[in-house]
Copies of this chain bind each other. A is one copy, B any other.
Amino acid sequence: MDTAQRSLPKHQMIWNRAHQAPDGDISSIETYLLFLRVASDVLSALQVHLGQYGLSDGKLAVLMLLSEAPNYSMTPSELAQQAGVTRGTITGLLDGLERTRLIERVVHPKNRRMLLIRLTPRGLDLLNQVLPQHFQYIRALMANLSEAEKQQLLVLLGKLDQGVVALR
């Protein structure tokens, strides 16, 4: 069976071109295109899932990071670095989280250039409500894979990631 049959028309085009190309390496392209499609499906499903709680991936990350920080507090820069986004992005996420009272911005006692971001009780409550649901969501998503298949997938994803890293 030809997996590319189920692809988007835009992928079908690449597919056609690859067949015409001198050194097409069809299986790499087929696998890559399927990966792209599954990745964007998984990502957009996650967005929908978290959207039900008014959260995004980035916002959830901020909440989780704060929940394990001493005093439920960190600076914006620390959050940016640990969540893997820029400081500019963190500013935007914090604006949203502050608007819904899930975090507070307080002045840093030691250094007036910095802020301390503190998880509010309301934020902690939401997190404790969301996380179990989130685990269940992940379990449902992976339900079609056996234990052995998950281990396989782990290995293969590792190799793919090595390829990405090598191109950086």
Contact = CB atoms under 8 A, between A and B. Distances in A.
A10 B159 contact: no
Nearest to A159: B144
Interface in A73-120: 82-84
Nearest to A69: B13
A61 to B, nearest CB: 4
A128 B168 CA distance: 24
Nearest to A156: B153
Nearest to A85: B10
Interface residues of A, number: 73
Given A68-B13, A82-B9, A163 B144 contact: yes
Given A13-B67, A31-B154, A153-B35, A160 B144 contact: yes
A32 B167 contact: no
Contacts of A135: 17-18, 21, 23-25, 29
A160 B83 CA distance: 25
A145 B43 CA distance: 24
A64 interface: yes
Interface in A114-168: 131-132, 134-135, 137-145, 147, 149-154, 156-168
Q: Across the A-B interface, give the 9 residue pairs with the lowest CB-CB distance, nearest first.
A: A39-B39, A9-B82, A10-B61, A28-B142, A13-B64, A144-B159, A141-B163, A31-B150, A41-B164
Given A28-B138, A30-B154, A142-B160, 10 more contacts: A10-B61, A21-B131, A25-B135, A36-B43, A41-B164, A41-B165, A137-B167, A142-B163, A152-B156, A153-B156
